[in-house]
Structure 1
Amino acid sequence: MNKAKRFEIFSRLRAANPEPTTELEYSSTFELLIAVILSAQATDVGVNKATRRLFPVANTPQAILDLGLDGLKEYIRTIGLYNSKAENIMKTCRALVEQHNGEVPATREALEALPGVGRKTANVVLNTAFRQPAMAVDTHIFRVSNRTGIAPGKTVRQVEDRLVRLTPKEFLLDAHHWLILHGRYTCVARKPRCGSCIIEDLCEYRDKIS
């Protein structure tokens, strides 16, 4: 895919959604971190249902520590893998209190050192909370990048690196959100909605569905 086509794709996505953001509900960087940890192999809708109950009761590292492991599990037990997620969240909260004065760090190295925080989670926090040009590649973004030809790659890291390199700079901060929303609602896995896609004529997918 050439530069001009890629620029036009992101121009249209921006025109349709000028201020995209995550569908996870949060009101602080810490809440975002916890929501993203919970969202692994879970839907944003499911995470939001749990955090709407959890955050009014405990939305700081110390408050979650005060809940205790069993107390935390009561709020998140509707989410997949909640046992291991609860243990990681407790460890992360302890690390934030003991090593970062209760604040979420703004560097990749410090974020990835937290239990339960991998590269993708760190990228979401860096991009969404700290507005750094990081690209969190999930299954939606991986599919859209390969299917459209925007940034094809065989691995998640390949796609991430190519998106960071190939996305025009003016779109880089919001590209993550545009691509994930496009994959979630239009360029869906089983039967992409090509007929209602605003970038269909630019997309290089060979098996388009009208």
Structure 2
Amino acid sequence: METMDPPVATPSGALASPSSTRNAGPIRAVLARILPSRGRVLEVAAGSGQHAATFAAAFPGLEWTPADPSAEARASIAAWRETSSLPNLQPPLALDATDPASWPAGEFDAILCINMVHISPWAATEGLMRLAETRLTPGGLLYLYGPYREAGTPLAPSNADFDESLKARSPDWGLREVEAVTRLAEDAGMNFIERVEMPSNNVSLIYQRQ
């Protein structure tokens, strides 16, 4: 389960959260295995930018573009970017997955989306798949991370409690079924290539554009 820890402001003004600190290492280990050594990466729903700074530092050959619809998030991303002084970390984009007019031009070798699918309307996941369909290079990867429902597997008690808390905050939120997400990906011209078990009852889902 990924808790929705309240972010804490660092001295630079960048926001940080305990959950992002905890999961950055396990996510980085998966990315190190699947990402190309060079290319362009788009991080959708980049949140505070803590992950963007961590991963841009870990993969210096990749141009890392973080994006988020929240002005507060983009301000935090900009603070992380200024503090890190990483030449491959790009300025944050005001990207809304549900609004194609906000999507960047050009192609990307990978798109990442961490902990968005369960805390957004289903339309955001549908938009994410259309974004991947139109912006990923052939053979490019879509990486998703978070807690999910899986057919034939009961939810862990912590994930069940988390799902209830999400739905209490918004009826449009909640843990999604891997099978439903995969159908969207396949309809957008992608193949499911790997599921990776992650700490705290989370999973990584990896898709590849045909």
Structure 2 length as normaliser, TM-score?
A: 0.25
Higher strand content, 1 or 2:
2
Higher helix content, 1 or 2:
1
Give the structure with higher Rg (CA): 1
Structure 1 length as normaliser, TM-score?
A: 0.25
